[in-house]
Amino acid sequence: MKLNGIITAALTPLSSDGEALADTGVFEKYYRFLLDRKINGLFVCGTTGEGMVLTLAERKKVAERAVRIVSNEVPLLVHVGCNSTAESIELVRHAASIHAQGAAVVTPYFYTYDRTAIAAHYRAIANAVPDLPIFMYYLPSYTHNDLPPSLVAELCADCPNITGLKHSDSDQIRLQEYRQAVDDHFTLLSGDDSVALAALTLGADGCVTGKSSTFPEMLVAIYEAFRKGDISAARMLQSNLNRLIGGLLDVGDGIGLAYFKAALCYRGLDIGGMRLPQRRLTQNEEAELIAGLDRLAPYSSPPGSWLFPNRVEL
């Protein structure tokens, strides 16, 4: 399966206290918000989707809701990566059973694994669902485990259903190495919003983007300008996005996703709270966010486009 364009790494709607999934209506409203802004695909239960703090049963339910709501309109990738191969296989079989278009699998995390172990992990998952496209997921800042380009090429040769990779790192040399290691049928997706345009120019087919979970217009505009060959406009749009990233959303300290949900609420769409150990913003942090969004609004495309007239108070 070949993918292109902006694939949104969706947030997961939760109850106000984060203890349970939100009701189906909230999912429908949120996914429709994204679809109406012309995203090219949806990626659920990944890093932005808080997949690692959801139970396996909840991850299955999110995937089922996503299939029901969006899969007839855009391709759906379900992230099934876990720290154990067995749990990853359970989730990937579920993704296949509900007819998701593909599954993404982050490299195992916490422990350090060598090349042989990582290869065995991916082979076991791919072989469990030979008819489902599998996308490897390289996220070294979180997993601390490497996925060398030569191993990617080896796994693609061994497992025909391994058809893509999400490269969530700013290292553009590594992205080029991935592009050179595989053929043109392989989907290479960038996962670092701050270098989205650079990745596209170096051979990425599209971007799996967390910032488009809240500001889809900005990422879609970058991709459309690139696709049309208007590199000058694409550069300006990337610069504007990076003002937002550097100024507000890449705040560190483990609360970045709380800023995403709070910013989305400011736009008029409340999708709930955070699941511990992640936390909500404090009142001071909420106030700083609102002031920052107001300052940055002129840099959106078109100016002010991330603000709704029916503003919802946080």
Q: Exactly one of 166, 178, 261, 266 is catalytic; name it.
A: 166
Q: Tell me whether residue 252 is in a domain.
A: no
Q: Tell me whether residue 206 is in a domain.
A: yes
Query: Token digits for 218?
Result: 């900005």
With vertex at residue 248, the alpha carbon angle to CA 247 and CA 254, rounded to the nearest 5 degrees, is 125
Check: CB of residue 41 under 8 Å from CB of residue 3: yes
Stated length of the chain? 314
Strands (E), the chain: 5-9, 41-44, 76-79, 102-106, 134-138, 162-167, 187-190, 206-209
Query: Token digits for 103?
Result: 């599954």
Q: Which domain holds residue 140?
A: 5-230
Q: Is 142 a catalytic residue?
A: no
Looking at residue 250, what is its pLDDT?
A: 57
Q: Tell me whether residue 246 is in a domain.
A: no
Q: Is 241 exposed, middle or buried (0-12, 13-18, 19+ CB in 10 A)?
A: buried
Per-residue pLDDT of the chain (314 residues; tens, 9 = 90+): 899 999 999 999 999 999 999 999 999 999 999 999 999 999 999 999 999 999 999 999 999 999 999 988 999 999 999 999 999 999 999 999 999 999 999 999 999 999 999 999 999 999 999 999 999 999 999 999 999 999 999 999 999 999 999 999 999 999 999 999 999 999 999 999 999 999 999 999 999 999 999 999 999 999 999 999 999 999 999 998 888 877 666 554 567 899 999 999 988 899 999 999 999 999 998 888 888 888 777 666 555 555 543 343 33
Q: Exactly one of 31, 122, 137, 259 is catalytic; name it.
A: 137
Q: Tell me whether residue 258 is in a domain.
A: no
Q: Tell me whether residue 179 is in a domain.
A: yes
Q: Tell me whether residue 168 is in a domain.
A: yes
Q: Tell me whether residue 302 is in a domain.
A: no
Looking at residue 294, what is its pLDDT?
A: 80
Q: What is d(CA 59, CA 98) in angstroms, rounded to the nearest whole number?
A: 13
Q: Tell me whether residue 147 is in a domain.
A: yes
Looking at residue 149, what is its pLDDT?
A: 98
Q: Give the count of domains, the chain.
A: 1
CATH assignment at residue 61: 3.20.20.70
Q: Is 137 a catalytic residue?
A: yes
